[in-house]
Amino acid sequence: MLVRVQNSASTQAERVLIDWLRTWKGPGDPHGVAMVNCSLFFEKQLHQFDAIVWTPTSCVVIEAEALVEHVSGELEVPLDGPWRVGSQVVSLEGGRRNPLDSSRAHTYALQGWLADRGLGQRVVQGVVLVVPPRGSSVRLRQLWSDPGLQVVVGDRHQHLAEYLDALTSMGRAQWTTNEVAMAFRGLNLLPYLPSPQDLVAEGFGGPVDTTLWRGGPQQAQAESFREEMTQLEQDAARPTSMAMPWYSPWELYPTEPGEMDLRQGAKRIVLAVGMLVAVAWLLWFVITAIVQFGPG
């Protein structure tokens, strides 16, 4: 997972989220790019995102919240209203009673913003990551069903990874390298846009328009990527030559670039004719033997 941080983490939950995202380096971990602490001005309103995560099959807006008190038991999460453990209303680090309201608003804003740019078919998911204090034992009870808006208890980083893996298995429309680059440019995040090589290594596919990196710090990397792709295309289009054996006339008497050596050419011709005569004699000998000593 590639991690880009626009502004330093201001809460404990954000610091935990950044640490988790940066540990996802193994082949079995989620792949993609995460943009932490970014913003979007949409329909006369500023939306502050704790994180946006793009994977090859999903786009997720993450709200990170930490529980203030040490609690143990079942955390009841209604769609509206305060969160509770038993009869106790839990306090969140950000001071909000229900972060689902801002999660929905941010998710819809990013979905609408993408739709205005021709990417409306790319579904945006919203998730609230709740980080309990160390030593707490919390089980989640989500009191509604909405596949586009979920709550994940962040007592272990595997829970968030499992959520992202579950989205991958849903078979959503693919995010391409160009679409991720377009999103970064549109959100004024060009300085944080990874190079095409890094995005391709994270599993983003499709053709690459290197002009989307123009003006950013990765422009040189994008130009290098374009040259590499051009070279690969030329190599693929070039007809493959057959390797000659060591005894070939062209291997024993090779041509020199830029020179015409009649002596070397004559040797190649004589050797080639001699080989043809030897092959013809061998065939004649075999045919004669078959006719002379064969059955009947």
* CA–CA dist 158, 161 (Å, integer): 5
Tell me what pLDDT residue 281 has: 85
The tens digit of pLDDT for each residue in 58-89 reads 999 999 999 988 888 899 998 888 888 888 88
Identify the bridge partners of residue 129 per DSSP, sorted by sequence position. 64, 152
For 66, the enclosing helix (H) or strand (E) is: strand 58-66
Q: What b/e readout covers 209-245, taking b as 16+ CB neighbours within 10 angstroms?
A: bbebbeebebbebbeebbeeeeeeeeeeeeeeeeeee
Q: Work out the percent of the chain whose per-residue pLDDT is above 70.
A: 90
* Residue 132: closest CA among 293, 16, 283, 258: 16
Tell me what pLDDT residue 52 has: 97
* CA–CA dist 251, 135 (Å, integer): 75
Tell me what pLDDT residue 260 has: 61
**Range in 89-93, 146-150, 245-249 with the lowest mean pLDDT:** 245-249
Tell me what pLDDT residue 114 has: 94
The average pLDDT across 210-222 equals: 95
Tell me what pLDDT residue 80 has: 84
Identify the bridge partners of residue 42 per DSSP, sorted by sequence position. 45
Q: Which amino acid is at 148?
A: G
pLDDT band per the 50, 70, 90 thresholds, residue 242? low
Phi, psi at 178, each rounded to 5°: -65, -40
Between 295 and 179, the more confident residue is 179
What helix, strand, coil percent values describe the chain, rounded to 5? 40, 25, 35
Whether residue 296 has pLDDT greater than 60: no
3-state SS, residue 205: strand
CB-based contacts of 254, cutoff 8 Å, min separation 6: 264
The tens digit of pLDDT for each residue in 107-137 reads 999 999 999 998 888 889 999 999 988 888 8
CB-based contacts of 69, cutoff 8 Å, min separation 6: 88, 90, 91, 133
Q: What is the mean pLDDT of the chain?
A: 86
* CA–CA dist 293, 99 (Å, integer): 97
Whether residue 253 has pLDDT greater than 70: no
The average pLDDT across 247-274 equals: 70
Tell me what pLDDT residue 112 has: 95
Structure tokens at 56: 């090859």
E-only strand ranges, 205-285 = none
Phi, psi at 200, each rounded to 5°: -65, -40
The tens digit of pLDDT for each residue in 32-54 reads 999 999 999 999 999 999 999 99
* CA–CA dist 285, 266 (Å, integer): 28
Tell me what pLDDT residue 284 has: 84
**Range in 13-22, 62-71, 134-143, 164-173 with the lowest mean pLDDT:** 164-173
**Range in 46-60, 96-110, 247-261 with the lowest mean pLDDT:** 247-261
Whether residue 279 has pLDDT greater than 70: yes
| Segment of 83-87, 91-95, 100-104, 199-203 carrying the highest mean pLDDT | 199-203
**In what side-by-side order are the strands of the sheet with 137-142?**
88-89, 84-85, 72-77, 137-142
* CA–CA dist 196, 210 (Å, integer): 8
Between 143 and 254, the more confident residue is 143
